[in-house]
């Protein structure tokens, strides 16, 4: 069952959420910053755009998994909840 959840989270994070993320280079800190507007506090910072995208993916995945564990509703995640119910059917 855990494998099913991780597969869904991985697919969802990379195909849906990271495309909507905001990426910006900060000249003062000489680093890349990324955030997801739909997820308060989902923020990452790194030296390269590739690295910040990887870090943000980890932040978003943790955000989703903690929200599921705490039974908190995820904002604007209608497709995700449908896929999650589908994964539960394969227990």
- The position carrying tokens 């604007």 is 76
pLDDT band of 70, cuts 50, 70, 90: confident
- Report the pLDDT averaged over residues 15-36: 91
Q: What is the mean pLDDT of the chain?
A: 78
- Report the pLDDT averaged over residues 20-28: 94
24 DSSP 8-state letter: E
User: And the tokens for 10?
Assistant: 């991985």
Q: What is the pTM of this model?
A: 0.69
32 to 1, 29, 46, 55, 90: CA distances (angstroms): 35, 8, 5, 11, 39
Residue 68 pLDDT > 50, yes or no? yes
Of residues 89 and 26, more confidence is placed in: 26
């Amino acid at each position: 069952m855990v494998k099913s959840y991780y597969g869904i989270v991985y697919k969802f994070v990379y195909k849906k959420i990271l495309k909507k993320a905001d990426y910006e280079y900060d000249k003062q800190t000489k680093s890349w910053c990324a955030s997801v507007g739909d997820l308060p506090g989902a923020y990452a910072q790194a030296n390269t755009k590739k690295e910040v995208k990887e870090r943000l993916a980890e932040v978003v995945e943790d955000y989703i998994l903690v929200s599921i564990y705490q039974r908190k509703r995820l904002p604007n995640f209608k497709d995700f909840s449908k896929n999650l119910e589908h994964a539960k059917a394969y227990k």
